[in-house]
Amino acid sequence: MESAIRVNLPESAYEIAIAPGNLERLGPMMAQLKLGKQVLLVSNAAILRRYGESAIASLEAAGFTVATHLFPPGERYKTLASIQKLYDTALEHRLERSSTMVALGGGVVGDMTGFAAATWLRGVNFVQVPTSLLAMIDASIGGKTGVNHPRGKNLIGAFYQPKLVVIDPNVLQTLPTREFRAGMAEVIKYGIIWDADLFSKLEASPRLDQLRYLDPGLLQTIITRSCQAKADVVGQDEKEAGLRAILNYGHTIGHAVESLTGYRLVNHGEAVAIGMVAAGQLAVEMGLWSAECQARQLGSIQKANLPTQIPSFLDLDAIADTLSTDKKVQAGQVRFILPKDIGEVIISDRVSRDTLKQVLAQMQA
Amino acid sequence: MESAIRVNLPESAYEIAIAPGNLERLGPMMAQLKLGKQVLLVSNAAILRRYGESAIASLEAAGFTVATHLFPPGERYKTLASIQKLYDTALEHRLERSSTMVALGGGVVGDMTGFAAATWLRGVNFVQVPTSLLAMIDASIGGKTGVNHPRGKNLIGAFYQPKLVVIDPNVLQTLPTREFRAGMAEVIKYGIIWDADLFSKLEASPRLDQLRYLDPGLLQTIITRSCQAKADVVGQDEKEAGLRAILNYGHTIGHAVESLTGYRLVNHGEAVAIGMVAAGQLAVEMGLWSAECQARQLGSIQKANLPTQIPSFLDLDAIADTLSTDKKVQAGQVRFILPKDIGEVIISDRVSRDTLKQVLAQMQA
The secondary structure of B66-88 as a DSSP string is EEEEEEPSSGGG-SHHHHHHHHH
Three-state secondary structure along A74-135? CHHHCCHHHHHHHHHHHHHCCCCCCCEEEEEECHHHHHHHHHHHHHECCCCEEEEEECCHHH
Query: How near does any CA of chain B get to the CA of A133, in Å?
Result: 24
Give me the count of residues in chain B.
Answer: 365
Q: Which fold has domain A177-227+240-363?
A: Dehydroquinate synthase-like, alpha domain (1.20.1090)
Q: Three-class SS of residue B45?
A: helix
CB-CB contact of B182 with B265 (8 Å):
no
Across the interface, whether the CB atoms of B87 and A331 are under 8 A apart is answered no
CB-CB contact of B186 with B272 (8 Å):
yes
CB-CB contact of A327 with A151 (8 Å):
no
Q: Three-class SS of residue B305?
A: coil
- Single-letter amino acid, residue B305: N
Across the interface, whether the CB atoms of A152 and B91 are under 8 A apart is answered yes
Q: Which fold has domain A3-174?
A: Rossmann fold (3.40.50)
Q: What are phi and psi of B110, to 5 degrees?
A: -65, -45
Q: DSSP for B168-205?
A: -GGGGGGS-HHHHHHHHHHHHHHHHHT-HHHHHHHHHS
Beta pairing class for B336-341 and B344-348: antiparallel
Q: Can A255 be counted among the known catalytic residues?
A: yes
Closest partner CB to A330 (pick from B96, B146, B325): B96
**Nearest by Cα to A41 from A71, A16, A59, A66:** A66
- The secondary structure of residue A63, as a DSSP letter, is T
Spell out which residues of chain A touch residue B93, defining contact as CB-CB under 8 Å: none
The predicted structure's pLDDT at residue B207: 95
Q: Can A144 be counted among the known catalytic residues?
A: yes
Query: How near does any CA of chain B get to the CA of A95, in Å?
Result: 9
Q: Roughly what angle, to the nearest 10 degrees, separates helices B177-193 and B291-303? A: 160
Across the interface, whether the CB atoms of A159 and B122 are under 8 A apart is answered yes
CB-CB contact of B192 with B182 (8 Å):
no
The predicted structure's pLDDT at residue A292: 97
Angle at B60 between CA B59 and CA B63, to 5 degrees: 95
Q: Residues of chain A whose pLDDT is less than 70?
A: 240-241, 325-332
Across the interface, whether the CB atoms of A119 and B146 are under 8 A apart is answered yes
The predicted structure's pLDDT at residue A324: 73
- Burial of residue A287 (number of CB atoms within 10 Å: 0-12, 13-18, 19+): exposed
The alpha carbon of residue A213 and the mean position of all alpha carbons in its chain are separated, in whole angstroms, by 23
Q: Three-class SS of residue B340?
A: strand
Give me the count of residues in chain A.
Answer: 365
The predicted structure's pLDDT at residue A326: 62
The predicted structure's pLDDT at residue A189: 98
Within 10 Å of residue A347's Cβ, how many Cβ atoms?
14
The alpha carbon of residue A76 and the mean position of all alpha carbons in its chain are separated, in whole angstroms, by 17
Which chain A residues touch B if contact means CB-CB below 8 Å?
A: 10-11, 36, 80, 84, 87, 91, 94, 96-98, 115, 118-123, 144-146, 149, 151-152, 154-159, 239-240, 325, 327-331
Q: Can B149 be counted among the known catalytic residues?
A: no
Q: Three-class SS of residue A174?
A: helix
**Nearest by Cα to A230 from A241, A217, A246:** A246
pLDDT tens figures, A76-128: 899 999 999 999 999 999 999 999 999 999 999 999 999 999 999 999 999 99
Kindly name the residue from B225, B255, B296, B335 that is annotated as catalytic.
Answer: B255
Which chain B residues touch A if contact means CB-CB below 8 Å?
A: 10-11, 36-37, 80, 84, 87, 91, 94, 96-98, 115, 118-123, 144-146, 149, 151-152, 154-159, 239-240, 325, 327-331
Beta pairing class for B164-167 and B14-18: parallel
| Cα atoms found within 13 Å of the Cα of residue B246, Cβ hemisphere only | 24
Q: Three-class SS of residue A34?
A: coil
A280 is in an annotated binding site: no
| Domain boundaries B177-363, CATH class | mainly alpha
Q: How many CB pairs under 8 A join A and B?
A: 94
A111 is in an annotated binding site: yes
Whole-number Å distance between alpha carbons of B104 and B43: 5
ipTM: 0.85
Q: Residues of chain B whose pLDDT is less than 70?
A: 240-241, 325-332
Query: How near does any CA of chain A get to the CA of B329, in Å?
Result: 7
Query: How near does any CA of chain B get to the CA of A244, in Å?
Result: 14
Spell out which residues of chain A touch residue B120, defining contact as CB-CB under 8 Å: 155-156
Q: Write b or e for each residue in B4-35: b if 16 or more Cβ atoms lie within 10 A of its Cβ, otherwise e.
A: ebebebeeeebbbbbbbebbebbbebbeeeeb
The predicted structure's pLDDT at residue B327: 57
The full set of domain ranges for chain A reads 3-174, 177-227+240-363
A329 is in an annotated binding site: no
Task: For residue B6, list its beta bridge partners.
Answer: B15
Contacts with A190 (C-beta within 8 Å, 6 or more apart), sequence order: A137, A198, A225, A226, A229, A230
Task: For residue A180, list its beta bridge partners.
Answer: none
Kindly name the residue from A69, A163, A181, A244 that is annotated as catalytic.
Answer: A244
Kindly name the residue from A34, A122, A151, A212 that is annotated as catalytic.
Answer: A122
Angle at A307 between CA A305 and CA A311, to 5 degrees: 150
CB-CB contact of A229 with A195 (8 Å):
yes
Kindly name the residue from B69, B268, B296, B335 that is annotated as catalytic.
Answer: B268
Q: Write b or e for each residue in A297-311: b if 16 or more Cβ atoms lie within 10 A of its Cβ, otherwise e.
A: bbebbebbbbbbebe
Q: Can A49 be counted among the known catalytic residues?
A: no
Within 10 Å of residue B241's Cβ, how many Cβ atoms?
10
Q: What are phi and psi of A212, to 5 degrees?
A: -65, -15
Q: Can B75 be counted among the known catalytic residues?
A: no
Across the interface, whether the CB atoms of B36 and A121 are under 8 A apart is answered no
Contacts with A1 (C-beta within 8 Å, 6 or more apart), sequence order: A19, A20, A216, A217, A220
Across the interface, whether the CB atoms of B91 and A159 are under 8 A apart is answered no
Q: Is the dihedral of CA A97, A98, A102, A103 positive or negative?
A: positive
In chain A, the N- to C-terminal Cα span, in Å, equals 42
A287 is in an annotated binding site: no
